[in-house]
């Protein structure tokens, strides 16, 4: 392996570590990132650290202010609401195209994958449930054959994942059934029904998002609350 390839691989590993920290808000909202501390913690020099941080800025997981440095993204209801609104627009587009373009065998494969995680077959924690949920929605996007829609959806998923973990705790009993209804409507090529179902499944009111963000702050700053 060449030195350049080794260097790129190291930056990729740093990027994945920092991305996980940013998604989970282990880097506190609006907090300035201390590059020296990160370099020490991750046993890396500041140059590859900065390369990884810049990639996260491009993905909207961090922000950069000239002459001030890198900051963790804010956790604000307006920002989360905008992301949910964007997600709904993307999901409506993917559902419409999936009804028109999805191959029947691919739709049936998506339903079979969904069946494999049916509640009751195993006890899953919230992070697993969010992962299953994201995978299902990416599966619908892939039915469209449009790689850009998949990429856009993945980007939004990453930026709302933290609040989805909180949101899912109240929805674990209903999510699977909603997924089955959605994939059933796509299989029937019933676009109108599928659009109605996806809107009910994805859309969140401003007050719901505000409550989840408030809970998110309590978990970030008081991570070991007593029951």
154 shares its domain with 205: yes
**Residue 183 pLDDT greater than 80, yes or no:** yes
Higher pLDDT, 169 or 166: 166
Whether 227 maps to a domain, the answer reads no
Q: Assess contact for 149 and 94: CB atoms under 8 A.
A: yes
What angle is formed at CA 196 by the lines to CA 195 and CA 202, rounded to 5 degrees?
85
- Least reliable range by pLDDT among 35-39, 138-142, 194-198: 35-39
82 shares its domain with 68: no
* Rounded-to-integer distance, Cα 145 and Cα 97, Å: 9
Name the CA radius of gyration of the chain, rounded. 19
Q: What is the mean pLDDT of residues 74-90?
A: 96
What angle is formed at CA 211 by the lines to CA 209 and CA 62, rounded to 5 degrees?
60
Sign of the CA dihedral with 135 first, then 140, 142, and 146 last: negative
List pLDDT tens digits, range 33-66: 999 999 999 999 989 999 999 999 999 999 999 9
Model-level pTM? 0.87
pLDDT confidence band for 223 (50 / 70 / 90): low
Mean pLDDT estimate for the chain: 91
132 shares its domain with 198: yes
What letter does residue 33 receive in the DSSP assignment? P
List pLDDT tens digits, range 10-39: 889 999 999 999 999 999 999 999 999 999
Sign of the CA dihedral with 96 first, then 97, 98, and 104 last: positive
160 shares its domain with 52: no
């Amino acid at each position: 392996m060449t030195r350049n390839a080794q260097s790129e691989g190291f930056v990729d590993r740093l990027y994945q570590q920092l991305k996980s920290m940013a998604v989970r808000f282990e880097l506190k909202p609006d907090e300035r990132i201390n590059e020296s501390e990160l370099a020490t913690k991750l046993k890396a020099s500041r140059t590859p650290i900065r390369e990884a941080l810049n990639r996260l800025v491009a993905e909207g997981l961090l922000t950069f202010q000239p002459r001030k440095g890198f900051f963790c993204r804010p956790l604000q209801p307006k920002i989360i609401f905008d992301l949910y609104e964007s997600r709904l627009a993307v999901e409506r587009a993917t559902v419409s195209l999936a009804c028109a373009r999805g191959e029947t065998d691919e739709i049936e494969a998506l339903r079979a994958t969904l069946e494999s995680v049916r509640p009751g077959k195993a006890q899953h924690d919230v992070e697993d449930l969010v992962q299953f949920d994201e995978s299902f929605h990416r599966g619908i996007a892939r039915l469209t054959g449009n790689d850009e829609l998949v990429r856009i959806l993945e980007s939004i998923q990453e930026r709302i994942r933290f609040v989805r973990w909180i949101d899912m705790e109240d929805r674990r009993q209903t999510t699977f059934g909603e997924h089955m209804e959605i994939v059933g409507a796509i299989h029937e090529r019933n676009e109108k029904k599928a659009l109605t179902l996806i809107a009910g499944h994805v859309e969140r009111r401003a007050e719901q998002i505000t409550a989840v963000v408030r809970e998110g702050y309590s978990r970030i700053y008081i991570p070991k609350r007593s029951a």
